[in-house]
Amino acid sequence: MTIKTTNLGFPRLGRKREWKKAIENYWNQAITKAELDETLLNLQRENLLLQKNHHLDSVPVGDFSLYDHILDTSLLFNIIPERFQGREVDDDLLFDIARGNKEHVASALIKWFNTNYHYIVPEWDNVTPKLGRHIILERFNYAKSLNINAHPVIVGPITFVKLSKGGDQSLEEKVRTLLPLYIEAFEALIQAGAELIQVDEPVLVTDDGEDLEAITREAYEAFAGAEVAQKLIIQTYFERANVKFLSSLPVKGFGLDFVHDRGENLKQIKNGDFDASKTLFAGIIDGRNVWAADVQAKKALIETLATYTDDLYINPSSSLLHVPVSLDDETLDETVRDGLSFATEKLEELDALKRAINEGNHEKLDTLQAQYERFQNQDFKNLTYDFDSVRASRESKFETRKVLQQERLNLPDLPTTTIGSFPQSPEVRKKRADWKNNRISNEEYETFLKAEIGRWIEIQEDIGLDVFVHGEFERNDMVEFFGEKLQGFLVTKFGWVQSYGSRAVKPPIIYGDVKWTAPLTVKETVYAQSLTDKPVKGMLTGPVTILNWSFERVDLPREEVQNQIALAINEEVLALEEAGIKVIQVDEPALREGLPLRKAYHEDYLRKAVHSFKLATSSVADHTQIHTHMCYSQFGQIIHAIHELDADVISIETSRSHGDLIKDFEDINYDLGIGLGVYDIHSPRIPTEDEITIAIQRGLQQIDRSLFWVNPDCGLKTRKEAEVKDALNVLVNSAKKLRQHTTTPTA
């Protein structure tokens, strides 16, 4: 038996976020376009050579991007939003589509399946598809110049169109429009020497996959008719696929996820659904989590798969975009380090497996297995929990709570607030870094934080907001901050992953039992409240989001870990209430993100998620107002679960979706407080008063005015101070003018 190794994609960020820093420096005009291009080319070269040096039989190209691979595909085929058309198709256009500019809003930003990565939604209104600059071909030729055996990666036509919006054509018509362009792109790559082309079709693992089979067959038969299909590998990931259907397509082979498929893909193969003449790309190393593989178990899986095909590649279960680059720069206790595997280490695991199977060389495999077993034998599970002792529902119904809260808070019609964070200026980041590296004292750092909190309380007073926040200047990230303070979490130094665009997060790693041991946010929140008569929100992250945005442990049932976190957050909620905080926001932006791709698993996931949130928030008194927040997701599937959270107020994104979210409320009597985000904080442009007024009016067509709040889409930490002040002034002025109307004007 002989196997080969490959990869589906590598992190773009760089070991120390070189990619992010270069792009942001270009946006800030600190470097030229030529300097940006040189930096990114060097990083691309480093990524390619690193993968080559791990003896991959084929290295992916086309996974590298200046922003997002879906947006790259849009530009490849000239699917350019109508408002941006007429310009040269270059990198500046790409950035404007993604971020917006002074004239035009950005394209919508949506979660990539059930991950924390976000893609830019393609827009089909009044487009003229054509093959543009073939950036994938350029990157393939660059890899060839480095003497690297590479395979191009491209988003497939079914997935690309399914993730698009707009236009008068049906999905099938859009796919047919693109087929000649895909063929042209494939032919250019084959002429350049591509032996394999990875065509990513993850949409086929969703419930929509069955409905898409007819157009999928039509598309790939068209590729066969053009004599390009025998170079194509259809790649799926994140869930089970229909193996029998994939086997029937006229392509060289296909890829399956054997990590996140709940065992279903292997079951289908054993049932005889796999065509043994196809090449199988087996995703056996977890591409989405950081735990070291049980390489002996993986070796056994490979040996099983090899009985069903003579042409077997092994690879990660998905692109490694979702994990950090390398452990090399981390200083971690060896007992935990033994259990970890970042992108580079996952390539080591693949190489060890290939050496053991192809050469009988078990040295590296045995070393990795010994490390894995040392970690597994550590005892991190020694706490007991009484989940039943904590209340999982509010004492009274919302109608009662609402009256008590209004008596206590005395809020105006259409109250205004923000989501939580204010700009993390270079000075804020420098002070935090100085403090963490012991360059300034605790006293000096605390004095700085108090000054910054006080300054922004005064700014909020001047703007005229109704419910304030302290600004979160002491926090690096809304999940990592809690990971640093709760027992059972590990925080890395360079464990960054891309979330959207240049935005990177550093997910904490849950390796043991979770416990609250001391107040986390009370000091800063109480200080802010002491400076104003307006209510200041306590700002927390909810248990579902902390779990989804961490690298979770896999040795316990997911819901048990989630409920451990819920008890910890409940302790902090009660500590804030005890300290006199009247409004407490527990954010759950990742609740929708964690929704399984198959509907069969939705009810169980949502039931457990709702229970965890309520476990974290229900112990407060009726007069304490609980807020939550969700952003940048498709909410229709979970609107009933959102209602079941029983939060007094939820703030939710609508600006990039241009009010489409309102449709989700048509089939539910939403009788809780709600703030529809009325401007996009991910774009540097300042909204006009008309834009915000229209957004508010649109929401009031569907939502009772007495329940309606006015707020931005998300936190403001990534924006500049002047942008924030200008935008919030527009927001408050719009709300104040609308308060003069006793009835809702027609939008």
Among all residues, which ones are annotated catalytic? 682
- Where are any strands of DSSP class E within 209-335? 232-235, 253-257, 279-285, 312-316
* 111 assigned to a ligand binding site: yes
Residue labelled with tokens 């050469």: 359
**425 annotated as ligand-binding:** no
Dist. CA 106–CA 504, nearest whole Å: 19
Strand order through the sheet with 253-257: 4-5, 312-316, 279-285, 253-257, 232-235, 197-200, 150-155, 59-61
DSSP state of 661: G
Instruction: Give the C-alpha distances (Å, rounded to integers) separating 534 from 411, 458, 568.
Output: 9, 11, 28
421 is in an annotated binding site: yes
CA distances from 553 to 80, 270, 374, 443, 512 (A): 41, 29, 16, 36, 8
- 692 strand-pairing partners: none
Query: Cα dihedral sign for 272, 274, 276, 280?
Result: negative
Paired tokens of 170? 């049906």
**Helices vs. strands in the chain: H and E counts, helices first:** 25, 20
Give the integer Cα–Cα distance in Å for 37 and 661.
Answer: 38
> 552 a known binding residue?
no
The answer to whether the annotation marks 82 as part of a ligand binding site is no
- Which residues make beta-bridge pairs with 4? 313
**Of 276, 277, 281, nearest in space to 241 by CA:** 281
Look-up of token digits 């038969």: 221
Question: Known binder of ligand: residue 339?
Answer: no
Could you please report the per-residue DSSP string of 225-240?
Answer: HTT-GGGEEEE--SS-
Q: Which two tokens stand for residue 536?
A: 């200041």
Number of residues that this document lists for the chain:
747
Question: Is 652 labeled as ligand-binding?
Answer: no
| β-sheet with 708-711: strand ranges across | 537-541, 583-587, 625-630, 649-652, 673-677, 708-711
Task: Compute CA distances 98 → 20, 108, 502, whole Å.
Answer: 15, 8, 11
Q: Is 87 annotated as a binding residue?
A: no
516 annotated as belonging to a binding site for a ligand: no
Ligand-binding annotation for 549, yes or no, is yes
Q: Which residues are bridge partners to 151 per DSSP?
A: 60
435 is in an annotated binding site: no
- Residue 18 annotated as part of some ligand binding site: yes
C-alpha 220/C-alpha 323 separation (Å) is 31
Alpha carbon of 604 to those of 241, 567, 608, 613: distances in Å?
Answer: 21, 20, 6, 15
Q: Please tell me whether residue 309 adopts helix, strand or coil conformation.
A: coil
17 is in an annotated binding site: yes
Residues 6+ apart with CB under 8 A from 342: 290, 323, 324, 325, 326, 327, 495
Helix (H, G, I), strand (E, B) or coil at 416: strand
The reply, when asked if residue 419 is annotated as ligand binding, is: yes
CA atoms of 709 and 591, how far apart (whole Å): 21
Non-local (6+) Cβ contacts of 198 within 8 A are 8, 60, 62, 151, 152, 153, 154, 233, 235, 255
Q: Please choose, from the candidates 585, 632, 634, 591, the residue with its C-alpha nearest in 3D space to the C-alpha of residue 611.
A: 591
- Residues flagged as binding site for 5-methyltetrahydropteroyltri-L-glutamate: 17-20, 111, 549, 593
- Residues flagged as binding site for L-homocysteine: 419-421, 472, 587
- Residues flagged as binding site for L-methionine: 419-421, 472, 587
- Residues flagged as binding site for Zn(2+): 629, 631, 653, 714
- Residues flagged as binding site: 17-20, 111, 419-421, 472, 549, 587, 593, 629, 631, 653, 714
